[in-house]
Amino acid sequence: MWGGRFSGGPADALAALSKSTHVDWRLAHHDIAGSRAHARVLHTVGLLDDDELARMLAGLDALDADVASGAYVAAESDEDVHGSLERGLIERVGPELGGRLRAGRSRNDQIATLGRMYLREAARSVASGVLATIDALVGQAQAHGSAAMPGRTHLQHAQPVLLAHHLLAHAWALLRDVQRLVDWDTRAAVSPYGSGALAGSSLGLDPNAVATELGFASAVHNSIDGTASRDVYAEFAWVAAMIGVDLSRISEEVILWATKEFGFVTLDDAYSTGSSIMPQKKNPDVAELARGKAGRLIGDLTGLLATLKGLPLAYNRDLQEDKEPVFDAVDTLALLLPAVSGMIATLTFHTDRMAELAPQGFALATDVAEWLVRAGVPFRQAHELSGEAVKLAESRGVELWDLSDDDYTAISDRFSPDLRQVLSTEGSLTSRSGQGGTAPAAVDAQLTALHAQLDAV
């Protein structure tokens, strides 16, 4: 590729270090698409005549087909996908014509563009995997419309909530991830092709023509930025890591819920594993792998950011390290999302157990305090009085609803038997009826809002 000024070839150690075909070969199809677009702009400015363009495009089509079939693969001596495909083109159209395609472009603007093309496609399939996971959560929420569960803070019983409300909380987080991917695409839809090595081209080539042919909205406005920036990759890696974190948080709950102690869910056989020694075991490996792979996705992001942090403008070879983290993130999510969505869709919820536990652990104490507030007591005092009821119930080893009306009036004459209205899970749930609350009617409205946003992405 650069024989002229060198008197010898690279050392084996350099060639081995430099080589990236094992990583960047997945961009071969995009590289050829870029070459077709580039051939057309060379033709537009007269650097290829009609016949040369036709032969060039036919050669690129033949090469593309051979790459797709596996008839053409990178050779041991090829450094990267661009060099290898130039060799493949020259084998098909000869060195005279094949050697013309490199005019006005550099591997620096090529690779920056191909990565964005690849990630834009990958983002679409990641988004559909996330949407399938949201569907699984929504399906379970709809199937358990009125089921209650203990809502927790600090992992302690806090207040009763609807199971649907809890599941939809995860759905909203994942929906924002999808929205992030959509928003990210506006920044990814800008093509660096035409930036050359760093300074643009002197050949009068139109970067926007290439951009349009490759499905971008426009070409970059700064060739240095086009070749040297990888924030678009890093942003993708961040969203991928966030998806990993969101899946991990769901998974951690599934792991807890599937324990004997919680007994909230049973995993489907198809989404659980056994033990080679303990015959009884049914393990939540999908959820554990999701939790584990979140660490890997975070690693992809931080590794990429570490690669970028010290780089002066413009292109530096360090940037070759940009691809493995984002490819790994794409591959990881491609494995993970179908497994997690399948696991969620097939969970069996033990709603009786969840409902029984929902009000326990004095989870209605806030309802008692808020009942007092509605009766005109300042919250500070109401909190105190409800706390005294908790203390009394705890000392007797009973729950708040086990205390008698007399017990309550002995604590304060502000209590009355009316309090019983809120001393139940149902009373507690239905009272939280504002937008975003856990009342059944509010959760219905929430589902409508969620569907509207899902329809909009």
Among the options 18, 77, 275, 416, which is catalytic? 275
**Contact 264/161 with Cβ under 8 angstroms?**
no
Binding residues for ligand ARG (CB under 6 A): 20, 24, 80, 107-108, 111, 315, 317, 319-320
Q: What is the torsion angle, in degrees rounded to the nearest 10, for the CA atoms of residue 293, residue 294, residue 297 and residue 303?
A: -110
Between residues 2 and 270, which has the closer beta carbon with respect to ligand ARG?
2
Between residues 120 and 180, which has the closer beta carbon with respect to ligand ARG?
120
Using CA atoms, how far apart are residues 121 and 262, in angstroms rounded to an integer?
41
Q: Give one word for 77, left, alpha or beta, with left for phi > 0 and alpha for psi -120 to 50.
A: alpha
* Closest separation in Å from C-beta 308 to ligand ARG: 13
Tokens of 306: 């570490």
Between residues 120 and 165, which has the closer beta carbon with respect to ligand ARG?
120
Between residues 257 and 315, which has the closer beta carbon with respect to ligand ARG?
315
| 157 flagged as catalytic | no
| 29 flagged as catalytic | no
* Closest separation in Å from C-beta 27 to ligand ARG: 9
User: 């009306």: which residue's tokens?
Assistant: 405
* Closest separation in Å from C-beta 24 to ligand ARG: 6
DSSP per-residue letters across 68-93: HHTSS---TT--SHHHHHHHHHHHHH
Among the options 7, 22, 69, 154, which is catalytic? 154
* Closest separation in Å from C-beta 197 to ligand ARG: 7
Provide CB contacts within 8 A for 116, sequence distance 6+: 188, 189, 190, 191, 192, 216, 232
| Cα end-to-end span (Å), the chain | 45
**Contact 118/30 with Cβ under 8 angstroms?**
yes
Report in angstroms the alpha-carbon separations of 16 from 11, 12, 76, 82, 204: 9, 6, 10, 17, 37
* Closest separation in Å from C-beta 106 to ligand ARG: 7
Tokens of 22: 């094992």
**Contact 439/430 with Cβ under 8 angstroms?**
yes
Active-site residue numbers?
154, 275
